[in-house]
Structure 1
């Protein structure tokens, strides 16, 4: 099974982002595969193919690490289209004063590598993916998207989730395997 760890978003933040996506879809539906509202999250670590016998250990270690850090207050949303030259992703970058999230990300990554998982070497970036670019974006679409102002107040991360993902022709379907609420 394919899995990943994600920081869940509060419902009001999902609503704001879903409204933004809906407005953008009217302008550029063919060029971008937009993420559905229920699938909006902050990916902490994509694991990939995961052995069922490892789920309990991954969940226990992740829960232990997640509870070590204080509150995770996210703020300063900014819409970005990356990379600049040949855009592939549209995401909202975020800031978090609690830098422990980056240390926790590294520790979880190390633990998964100790379990034998080969993970992406790129460092963790705090973001919410809104869409994946399917074909070259005309400049007018890039300009349109970059005019979108994302306004939401600071929010707290309510929980960390270990998701299972299924790839279907209509897009990814996510199933919550383990939910770890912030205590």
Structure 2
């Protein structure tokens, strides 16, 4: 029995990823002791639901259910309002762009959760705090690199809602798209039946 670590996320357009990369580059240059792992900009995304380990057959079924029930508005935009360490209330694990949870994003999140419930797939039900990870803090110690919370005002565009498979490697995670619901902003493929 093969299980795949998986999650559902919003992917960003290339232009939006490049916007965030400029912010990340500024702080990466200050990270003299490599206390933070900086992922490739292709990995920037907004996680809607973490599914954990799932059977490929269950993921296939979920992809089919998503194709019937979920629609991504072509002009869906995300409002970024803060750059800070995250989470706030405990030892931070990442440097993140925090997003406003507006009506459009709530609707996409609700659609996603309802589809998962309809599919009978277990997922992480912790409170949804929308964010985009720019860097992950290495180890368990607080970083010496001080980055105070910073207000930003950036509008980001979504390219697709994507079901991902995640594989851990020593140099970071590799995310493989299983299924995409594209917006009209970028032409992305739909279901890939060769992923397993």
- Structure 2 residue 113 is matched with structure 1 residue 106: yes
In structure 1, what is the Cα distance between the partners aligned to 2:74 and 2:15? 22
The yes-or-no answer on 1:97 pairing with 2:103 is yes
Q: 1:74 to 1:66 in 2, by over 3 A?
A: same
Indicate how the Cα distance of structure 1 residues 123 and 105 shifts in structure 2: closer, same or farther if over 3 A, else same.
Answer: farther
Aligned residues: 175
Task: Return the alpha-carbon distance in structure 1 between the equivalents of residues 135 and 116 of structure 2.
Answer: 25
Do structure 1's residue 9 and structure 2's residue 15 form an aligned pair?
Answer: no
Q: After TM superposition, list the pairs within 5 Å mapping 1:98-177 onto structure 2.
A: 98=104, 99-111=106-118, 114-115=120-121, 117=122, 119-134=123-138, 135-138=141-144, 141-143=146-148, 146-147=149-150, 150-152=152-154, 154-177=155-178
Whether 1:88 and 2:89 are equivalent positions in the alignment is no
Does the CA contact (< 8 Å) of 2:36 and 2:135 recur in 1?
A: yes
CA deviation digits over 1:49-85, x for unaligned, max 9? 1211112211122233321778532114311212335
Q: Of the candidates 41, 51, 55, which is equivalent to residue 51 of structure 1?
A: 55
Say what the alpha-carbon RMSD is for the aligned residues: 2.3
Q: 1:46 to 1:163 in 2, by over 3 A?
A: same
5+ residue gaps, structure 2, are 185-196
- Verify the 8 A CA contact 2:7 2:163 in the aligned structure 1: yes
Q: Distance in 1 between matches of 2:78 and 2:115?
A: 20
Listed as ranges, the gaps of 5+ residues in structure 1 are none
| C-alpha distance in 2 between matches for 1:18 and 1:169 | 22
Q: Distance in 1 between matches of 2:8 and 2:80?
A: 23
Report the more deviating stretch, 68-77 or 57-66. 68-77
Structure 1-normalised TM-score? 0.82
* TM-score, structure 2 normalization: 0.77
- Which stretches of structure 1, 4 residues or longer, exceed 4 Å deviation after superposition? 68-71
Shift of 1:120: 2.0
Question: Distance between the aligned counterparts of 1:53 and 1:33, measured in 2?
Answer: 33
Shift of 1:86: 2.2
Distance 1:83 1:3, change over 3 A: closer
Distance 1:22 1:73 in 2: 23
